[in-house]
Amino acid sequence: MLSEKMEKALNKQINAELYSAYLYLSMASYFESVDLEGCANWMKAQTQEEMIHAMKIYDFVIERGGRVLLDAIEAPKQEWDSALAVFEHAYEHEKYVTSLINDLMNLAIEEKDHATQIFLQWFVSEQVEEEASASGVVQKLKLAGGPDGKGGGLFMVDRELGQRPLPVPMPQE
């Protein structure tokens, strides 16, 4: 059984993961508007990843006999100045999510909730990957497109980001 405090904190994290999905979908839509289809594909894959994160926590709360209570999701930013600005934002956002996961882990330790600690270990490792993948694209864009990321190599990076497979393939028409 989850403590009330732990249940509330996990519910808050479901909201944060859904917000992340919403933010990345907004980034995908921005990329669509500036014809960077590969970047849009990368963000759509990221959106699905975040939905998977949210559902993992959802299922865990239910499994532990808790109640999932969904709250309003904040509206995400809609416009950016460049592809580099978007990925820098994504990287900053992932660092923030890492801090949320660390706070959750600290609470689970405080509450002596061993099952939640084990559950959260997956998220601790996942955040290492999440930060690395966003910061990897930032580096690539800087190398390919110069300091503002707008140089000619941007289109090569865009093509590469278009190769990222969707975690949940979309049905074919």
Q: What's the closest the beta carbon of residue 94 comes to ligand FEO, in angstroms? A: 5
Q: Is 17 in the site for ligand FEO (CB under 6 A)?
A: yes
CB closer to ligand FEO out of 88 and 94: 94
Q: What's the closest the beta carbon of residue 66 comes to ligand FEO, in angstroms? A: 19
Q: Is 50 in the site for ligand FEO (CB under 6 A)?
A: yes
34: which 2 tokens?
A: 């500036």
Taking the mean position of all CA atoms in its chain, how far away is CA 33? 21
CB closer to ligand FEO out of 143 and 166: 166
Q: Is 83 in the site for ligand FEO (CB under 6 A)?
A: no
The CA distances from residue 90 to 3, 94, 95, in Å, are 32, 6, 9
Residues with Cβ < 8 Å from 125, sequence gap 6 or more? none
DSSP assigned state of 12:
H
CA distance 55 to 146: 38
CB closer to ligand FEO out of 90 and 157: 90
- Residue from 6, 7, 20, 108 touching ligand FEO (CB under 6 A): that is 20
Q: Is 131 in the site for ligand FEO (CB under 6 A)?
A: no
Taking the mean position of all CA atoms in its chain, how far away is CA 40? 14
Rg of the chain taking only CA atoms, in angstroms: 17
- Residue from 130, 138, 140, 158 touching ligand FEO (CB under 6 A): that is 130
Q: What's the closest the beta carbon of residue 146 comes to ligand FEO, in angstroms? A: 27
DSSP assigned state of 109:
H
Q: Is 94 in the site for ligand FEO (CB under 6 A)?
A: yes
Taking the mean position of all CA atoms in its chain, how far away is CA 143? 24
Contacts with ligand FEO by CB under 6 A lie at 17, 20, 50, 53, 94, 97, 130
